[in-house]
């Protein structure tokens, strides 16, 4: 059978499980996952290659009503990502139900006219498959171009292999666009920044909001193979700085340690990580800061 290839965008409201699903598909941790909304700021190309085909996944930031300027950029990227996709995986959340935010997603998806696979995620919460199917039928009414629906649990992996098979089947015939061992087209620098930001969100819980940005100053591969990374964690308020530093530096040490462990695993080399905390008032309102600190540069070009 002919080899298939194409671009598939994941769309859905914040927190529906898009990053978790891309990570499942790719089998390695590339998109960051947290239980806070709007974790994913960039389009992340996760690339899956099988014998039958190659899929380039775009994990878009959740579509939502923008509350501030950064929010506006996020929606712009999410909507922009739809164009140029061969297929959309539109995700809805069994646990959260159908909300106004799903209607907003539907508006963008329906306007795009791109074929849709509807994915009902978090069915591990459903009491039985009948209830999950009923939910899928209700959700289908929102979207115009649904070809099929799937019931999955991205977290447990239920239904994910079948979904991947059907996605590849649905793609047009085409060549391998990337070598097999490439799992993401994102720069390592970007991944380093996202890993650090993930640890900040993970360890500081609700105290540090999404206003946190990470800026990578140095990303240098030394002759002995050690990767030297120097980065700033950027917060908006002076009061947030001591939270990130922690008592006697305990918090930033922990952030650095966990981030370093993930980086060493992903980059497969020893990492030396230096972290600093900077306060930049209202950086989210200033375009140049947004591009630097939210690592959005490539998406806005």
Ligand X SMILES: Nc1nc2c(ncn2[C@@H]2O[C@H](COP(=O)(O)OP(=O)(O)OP(=O)(O)O)[C@@H](O)[C@H]2O)c(=O)[nH]1
For ligand X, the binding residues (CB under 6 A) are 12, 14-20, 33-35, 37-40, 61-62, 121-122, 124-125, 153-155
Cβ closest to ligand X, residue 4 vs residue 210: 210
Contact 8, 148 (CB under 8 A): no
Cβ closest to ligand X, residue 12 vs residue 53: 12
In the complex, minimum distance from the CB of residue 273 to ligand X, in angstroms, rounded to a whole number: 23
Cβ closest to ligand X, residue 120 vs residue 234: 120
DSSP 120: E
Annotated binding-site ranges for GTP: 12-19, 59-63, 121-124
What does the alpha-carbon distance between residue 21 and residue 299 come to, in Å, rounded to a whole number?
A: 21
Reduced to 3 states (helix: H, G, I; strand: E, B; else coil), residue 199 is: helix
What does the alpha-carbon distance between residue 24 and residue 39 come to, in Å, rounded to a whole number?
A: 17
In the complex, minimum distance from the CB of residue 20 to ligand X, in angstroms, rounded to a whole number: 4
In the complex, minimum distance from the CB of residue 126 to ligand X, in angstroms, rounded to a whole number: 10
Per-residue CA distances from 67 to 63, 72, 81, 106 (Å):
12, 7, 20, 20
Ordered strands of the 213-221 beta sheet:
213-221, 227-235, 271-279
In the complex, minimum distance from the CB of residue 223 to ligand X, in angstroms, rounded to a whole number: 38
Cβ closest to ligand X, residue 7 vs residue 37: 37
Contact 10, 57 (CB under 8 A): yes
Annotated binding-site ranges: 12-19, 59-63, 121-124
Phi, psi of 231, deg, nearest 5: -140, 150
Question: Which residue's entry shows tokens 């972290």?
Answer: 275
């Amino acid at each position: 059978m002919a080899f298939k290839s194409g671009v598939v965008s994941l769309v859905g409201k914040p927190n529906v499980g898009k990053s978790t699903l891309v990570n499942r598909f790719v089998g390695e941790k590339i998109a960051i996952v947290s239980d806070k909304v709007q974790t994913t700021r960039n389009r992340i190309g996760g690339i899956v290659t099988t014998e039958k085909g190659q899929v380039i996944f775009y994990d878009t930031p959740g579509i939502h009503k923008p509350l501030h300027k950064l929010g506006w950029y996020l929606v712009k990227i999410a909507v922009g990502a739809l164009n140029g996709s061969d297929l959309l995986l539109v995700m809805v959340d069994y646990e959260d139900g159908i909300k106004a935010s799903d209607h907003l997603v539907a508006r963008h998806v329906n306007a795009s006219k791109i074929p849709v696979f509807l994915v009902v995620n978090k069915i591990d919460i459903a009491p039985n498959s009948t209830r999950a199917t009923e939910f899928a039928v209700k959700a289908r009414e929102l979207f115009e171009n649904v070809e099929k629906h799937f019931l999955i649990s991205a977290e447990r992996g239920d239904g994910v292999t079948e979904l991947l098979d059907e996605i590849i089947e649905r793609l047009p015939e085409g060549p391998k666009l990337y070598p097999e061992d490439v799992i993401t087209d994102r720069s390592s620098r970007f991944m380093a920044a996202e890993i650090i930001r993930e640890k900040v969100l993970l360890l500081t819980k609700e105290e540090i909001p999404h206003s946190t940005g990470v800026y990578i100053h140095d990303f240098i591969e030394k002759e002995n193979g050690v990767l030297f990374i120097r980065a700033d964690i950027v917060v908006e308020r002076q009061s947030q700085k001591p939270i990130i530093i922690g008592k006697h530096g305990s918090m930033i040490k922990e952030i650095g340690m966990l981030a370093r462990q993930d980086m060493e695993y992903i980059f497969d080399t020893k990492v030396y990580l230096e972290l600093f905390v900077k306060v930049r008032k209202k950086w989210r309102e200033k375009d140049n800061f947004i591009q630097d600190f939210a690592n959005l540069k490539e998406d806005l070009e």
